[in-house]
Amino acid sequence: MNKKRITWIELLRIAACIGVIGIHAGSQHFRDVPVDTSVWQVSNFYHGINRFAVACFIMISGSLYLSSKRTWDLKKLWMKNILPVASAYLFWQLFYGFYRIAVNGSPKIGSMEFFKKMMVYVSEPYFHLWYLPMLIGLLVITPLIWEIVNSPRGKQWSQYMILLFLIFQIFTYTAGRFDLPWKEHVQDLMNTVHPELVTGYVGYFVLGHYLYEYGLPKKIERMVCILGPVMILAGIWLCRRESLASGKATQAFYENYTIFACIWSTAVFLFFKEYVSKIQWSERMEKMICSLGGCTFGIYLIHAFVRDVLYRNGIDSMMMRDTILAIPFVMGLIFLISWGIVFIAEKVPFIKKWIM
């Protein structure tokens, strides 16, 4: 048995990594095919059903970083946690900047135009790299959050922070997706208050800690696990209805801050914690799972490059007539190729520590 890693968390990490790839494979033609076609409906389904991925990644981080078994030293936090993420972010921003310039064929490398273009590309996160500066932000405040949730009344404080997250972030954001009376006035009021410490992804961070540390009463847990799939399917259906009505593709009803994605993500987390955790694995299988789980950060970073290379070679979600089969095929291919690259690259200690 692996002493440092928790098998069910590694399996959830792998599932979340595949989910991110599923979002990006499913959305390849999300906005460039008519919304009244079966191709778009399949894309909408895969785009929505994988929406647990980001929230579960953050909940995993919350369950581990806010664990009562940890203690935080600020020097270690910055040197061993924050600096490697910042280093990886800088490297991959530069990598994707070089790549985009190279595939576009201009400007000439080394020219002033090249450096100007690089500055533009590096100034904002590449479409999937936004997660790294967000994670750095969570890590920066982790010692403060840890002190709150592990204080003598830590359970109550965790419940309070989650409740505020639901009220000021999840419910408010979800209400904004619907055409409700007085919507703008209510949103303005809520955003005027907007308690920063519990809005944004820190809410999922604390939620992960709470579910890991305390769990939910069995009846509520079962209800959430049943409600999760129902909610995300409802979100997918609402996106379909809205898209058909407007003629434009929308993902508004299953974005990360909607109640649909929140309950779905919570259900997936609880399913792995309460049910997958009970599976008995052989020692060899545990090592394989934990090894693969350790590669997911690198897979996340490089999968966008692999996806684009495959796309430029005619391999994407519309490569087959049957899109419902094409998308999981492309997902699997992206995952396996990315894993292979990461598995080899991580043999170099410097790459493993600072880049992947």
pLDDT tens readout for residues 83-130 = 999 999 999 999 999 998 888 877 777 778 888 888 888 888 899 999
What phi, psi does 266 have (nearest 5°)?
Answer: -65, -40
Within a domain: residue 232?
yes
Based on the number of CB atoms within 10 Å of its own CB, is 92 exposed (0-12), middle (13-18) or buried (19 or more)? buried
Three-state SS letters, 254-311: CCCCCHHHHHHHHHHHHHHHHCHHHCCCCHHHHHHHHHHHHHHHHHHHHHHHHHHHHH
Which is nearest to 137 in space by CA: 195, 70, 86? 86
Q: What is the pLDDT of residue 317?
A: 87
Within a domain: residue 1?
no
Q: Percent of the chain having pLDDT more than 90?
A: 79
Which is nearest to 64 in space by CA: 2, 10, 15, 144? 10
Q: Percent of the chain having pLDDT more than 70?
A: 99
**Considering only 15-19, 30-34, 261-265, 338-342, which range has the smallest mean pLDDT?**
30-34
As for how many domains the chain has, the answer is 1
Within a domain: residue 299?
yes
Q: Is the pLDDT of residue 330 over 60?
A: yes
What's the DSSP call for residue 355?
Answer: T
Q: What is the pLDDT of residue 322?
A: 84
Find the domain containing 128 and state its range. Answer: 7-354
**Whole-model pTM?**
0.94
Within a domain: residue 2?
no
Q: What is the pLDDT of residue 136?
A: 97
